[in-house]
Structure 1
Amino acid sequence: MEFFLGVDVSKKTVDICWAEQNLFVKIDNNSSGFRKFRKWCKENSINLQEVFIVLEHTGGYEYRFMQFCESQPIAYKRVPVLEIKQSMGMCRGKSDKADAFRISRYGEEKAKKLQPDGPLDNRFLSLKQLLSLRKKLVRESAGYKNAVGERRHMYQVDDTDILIRISLEKIKANAKYTREIEGEVLALIKSDESMYLNYRIITSIKGIGPVNGWMTIAYTENFTSFPDGRHYAVYVGVIPFEHTSGTSKRGRRRTSNLANKELKQELNQEAKIAIQHDPELKGYAERKLKYKEYGLVLNNVKFKLILRMFSLVKRQEMYVENYRRAA
């Protein structure tokens, strides 16, 4: 690619910079803005077929611009915000224009390493949005349940109390909406044969329930966005890393905070269930607990569950207890 453009996306605007020539344009994040971008490229002799767009992974605002890139087509790569920030070194000041310039510089420096993203699949975007809303409803209901329990205990009131009555109605409504969302999620997964097969495979593992299965399908994009289970385990945050420096700092190995905490939290409960109901993992945990803390052992079990999921999906086989492959 000849032209590396840095793009800083916000809700309403898109800042685009070509750092090599110190060129900059600010456009609206809509169709008219994208037409303005094409005109700007033409005026500056930028061939769209030779353009490589580097943009931050904001989690939503960039999707309209990505759809425009795919319609042209223009190669693009979404990069985590923290990765770009840490690659910049010491920076002073902040503005959208400066961010676009720095992103463009990042693309030029990493030109040989960056590979364009694959085609945008709106199914996984929909799955993530549905699961995110479900999580909000579940947490909201948990808050109402706690409030109802505390009010009953402190004031000795019954269900006719207005605060309790409204809270119970909200809990009931949220439960209805949660079931509706879960039905939509399952229907979306069933609409694709490969996705539904992989979902059935990973939920055949003891400890992996429907919610964790949905989240794994969504965030691995049906096991296509991670090459193996170890890379996904790093993303989830269950692999410990070394923390040493010379002879003075000898910290123990620990997991990184740069992880998807939501996936890690969901796996936490699944690992506890797996230890209770899977004889192999139960024996493994009991052996480890003799010389390791419970939290470390739980982390090890989460890693084993991830490796099982990726291994079974790769072989396209259901989980079988006490399975031994023939020599």
Structure 2
Amino acid sequence: MNFNNYIGIDISKGKLDLAVLNQEGELILYQCLNDKKSIIKCLGKVFKESNLSKEDTLIIAESSGHYINPLIWSIISENYLLWIEDGYQIANSQGIRRGKNDEKDAEMIAIYGKRFSDRCQLVKASSECIENLAYLNSERELLTKEMVKFDQQLTDHKKYVKPSFYLSRKKRYTELIANLKTHISEIEQEMEKLIENEPKLSHYAKLLRSIPGIGKQVSIATIIATKGFTKFTDPRKFACHVGVVPFEYKSGSSIRSAHKISQRANKKMKSLFHLASLVVIQLEGEFKEYYLRKQKEGKNKMSIINAIRGKLIHRAFAVIKRNEPYTKEFKPSFQNCTN
């Protein structure tokens, strides 16, 4: 799509800062409260005063957790064009910066949108469902961490605390753990309902779950991380995002090291695909055969596991691309990132 005007939006908890970059190259600043009513009113004012049209104006905002939701709701209800970009990507495209405030950040985002508009991925109605899934998933992760923490306390204290004190704590913690399990189950059911009510995402979830090792949590997390396979369409790029692709590190003849995984990764997704890999190497099939074959060749165990993570990611994207479930005879249509 071709755009003539760009609106960069810096989002904070209480307000939005907007920088309008029109086709004449002029920058005009606005500000409004971070709620749906205020955003709709402000955008209406911006478009009227600057004589903008919705068809050739791109609104760009940084991904900012649930603080961005009022903007998404406003965009969807009023049919504006919105591109949500990773903040790290925007910041690292600007070179050296001196000084920082919300107005400058909004200007920076508008300029980034103009320079890289060919990369834009517009927010669609299904994005609201994915944002809701992400919100529920973050709550599930929080409660799961709390449950593990209480469970570990019981295990760690059992042999080292007087039974009378330990048993009273055990009673309280057991009740807390049971309540947390109930709430986690309720959240998971709510997430499943959200997916079921969105036919496209429901279909994606079924395709992903046809792959050995990929269950409910991995499939939902993958749908969230890929924005319903719109943010990422290339399995290798997603594998890089997850942190399973090894990169070369060398400079001239003095700095050389083995290929290493980048620490700049989605470590939660990496952990989920790691668990999925541990599952599939226990099941009869190609993944177990691959694992055993590489072990006989003398390959490092973690190197093999990492390769299986990559293979699972490639198969996830392949079933979506082909629009057919995984079978034993399934041949991925992508070149694997690891052998």
Q: TM-score, normalised by structure 2?
A: 0.86
**In 1, are the aligned partners of 2:239 and 2:310 still within 8 Å (CA)?**
yes
1:26 equivalenced with 2:31 (yes/no): yes
Q: 1:147 is aligned with what amino acid?
A: Q
Q: 1:104 to 1:247 in 2, by over 3 A?
A: same
Q: Which residue of 1 aligns with 2:158?
A: 152
Give the 3 Å change call, closer, same or farther, for CA 194–90 of structure 1 in structure 2: closer
Give the number of equivalent residue pairs: 324
Q: Secondary structure at the match of 2:160?
A: helix
Residue 43 to residue 190, structure 1, CA distance change in 2 (3 Å): closer
Is 1:119 matched up with 2:119? Answer: no
Partner residue of 1:188?
A: 194
SS in 2 for 1:141: helix
Residue aligned with 2:163, SS: coil
Residue 301 in structure 1 maps to residue 308 in structure 2: yes
User: Which residue in 2 is equivalent to 1:63?
Assistant: 69
1:17 aligns with 2:22: no
- How far is the alpha carbon of 1:123 from its aligned partner? 1.8
Structure 1 counterpart of 2:8, one-letter code = G
Residues 216-227 of structure 1 mapped to structure 2, 5 A cutoff? 216-227=222-233
CA distance in structure 2 between the partners assigned to 1:160 and 1:244 by the alignment:
54
Measure the CA separation in 1 of the matches of 2:63 and 2:92: 15
Distance 2:6 2:168 in 1: 60
Structure 1 position 297, deviation (Å): 1.3
Which string of whole-angstrom CA distances, capped at 9 and with x for unpartnered residues, describes residues 165-188 of structure 1?
Answer: 221111010111111122222222
Measured in 2, the distance between the counterparts of 1:269 and 1:181 equals 21
Post-superposition offset of 1:153 = 1.6
CA distance in 1, matches of 2:331, 2:8: 51
Deviates more, 1:282-291 or 1:272-281: 282-291
Uncovered stretches (5+) of structure 2, i.e. residues with no partner: 333-339
Contact preservation (8 Å) 2:121, 2:231: no
Q: What are the residue-to-residue correspondences of 1:64-213 with 2, within 5 Å?
A: 64-111=70-117, 113-121=118-126, 122-157=128-163, 161-213=167-219
Q: Distance in 2 between matches of 1:324 and 1:76?
A: 36
Q: Distance between the aligned counterparts of 1:126 and 1:10, measured in 2?
A: 19
Q: Contact conserved, 2:16 with 2:34, CA < 8 A, in 1? A: yes
User: Unpaired segments of 5 or more residues in structure 1?
Assistant: none
Q: Is the 8 A contact 2:39 2:74 kept in 1?
A: no
Q: Deviations over 1:54-110 (max 9, x none)?
A: 211112212211322333332221111111111111111111011111112222322
1:6 maps to what in 2? 8
Q: 1:284 to 1:44 in 2, by over 3 A?
A: same
| CA offsets 1:194-233 (integer angstroms, 9 cap, x no match) | 4334323322322222221222233334434422322322
Sort the Cα spacing of 1:99 and 1:202 in 2 relative to 1 into closer, same or farther, 3 A: same
C-alpha RMSD over aligned residues: 2.4
Counterpart code for 1:114: R
Q: Distance in 2 between matches of 1:65 and 1:15?
A: 12
TM-score (norm 1): 0.89
Structure 1 window deviating more from structure 2 (298-307 vs 155-164): it is 155-164
1:262 to partner: Cα distance: 0.8
Indicate the residue corresponding to 1:35 in structure 2. Answer: 41
- SS of 1:24's partner is strand
Give secondary structure in 2 for the equivalent of 1:241. strand
| CA distance 1:192–1:29, shift in 2 (3 Å) | closer
Once the two structures are superposed, what CA deviation does each residue of 1:246-303 show, in whole Å capped at 9, x if it has no partner?
Answer: 3332232222223211111111111011112133222212333334322221110011
Amino acid at match of 1:2: N
Identity %: 27
Aligned-partner SS, 2:59:
strand
Displacement of 1:2 in angstroms is: 1.8
